[in-house]
Amino acid sequence: MLTRIDHIGIACHDLDTTVEFYRATYGFEVFHTEVNEEQGVREAMLKINETSDGGASYLQLLEPTREDSAVGKWLAKNGEGVHHIAFGTADVDADSEDIRGKGVRVLYDEPRRGSMGSRITFLHPKDCHGVLTELVTSAPVESPEH
């Protein structure tokens, strides 16, 4: 079952400049950064709020590290802007299979590694009214040691 909006992915040409815009304009701070070589992106996650299921909602800013990446191709065609929406789920495997059974194309046969150790898959935008949709199971939150 989908439990929240996990994040909204925004494609950008210059990650540092875009981060600074969101920091200066809205006061959002970077929660996490990483380079995902498999997906060909450098990203920053800006935490917006905590959620009742223990997760959070983020803006994910994405700068392609290579032109042939999915985000690089999308950015060249569409310019900067909203790339995808991601919904959080406790079980990306079960939910993607359930959604596949309803006739929606799931882009990965098996979920892949996403930001912050999450497991992800994408749904085809043509089956989702033009919206590239991601399903995300967050990595387990480690409890702080006392």
20 is catalytic: no
SS3 content of the chain, % helix, strand, coil (to 5): 25, 40, 35
Q: Could you say which of 7, 39, 63, 83 is catalytic?
A: 7
Strands (E), 12-132: 30-36, 41-50, 56-64, 81-89, 112-113, 119-123
Q: Could you say which of 39, 63, 83, 84 is catalytic?
A: 84
Alpha carbon distance 30, 20 (integer Å): 10
Q: Could you say which of 39, 60, 63, 83 is catalytic?
A: 60
60 is catalytic: yes
Q: CB of 124 within 8 A of CB of 37? A: no
43 is catalytic: yes
67 is catalytic: no
50 is catalytic: no
Q: Could you say which of 134, 142, 145, 146 is catalytic?
A: 134
Q: Could you say which of 39, 43, 63, 83 is catalytic?
A: 43
Residues catalogued as catalytic: 7, 43, 60, 84, 134
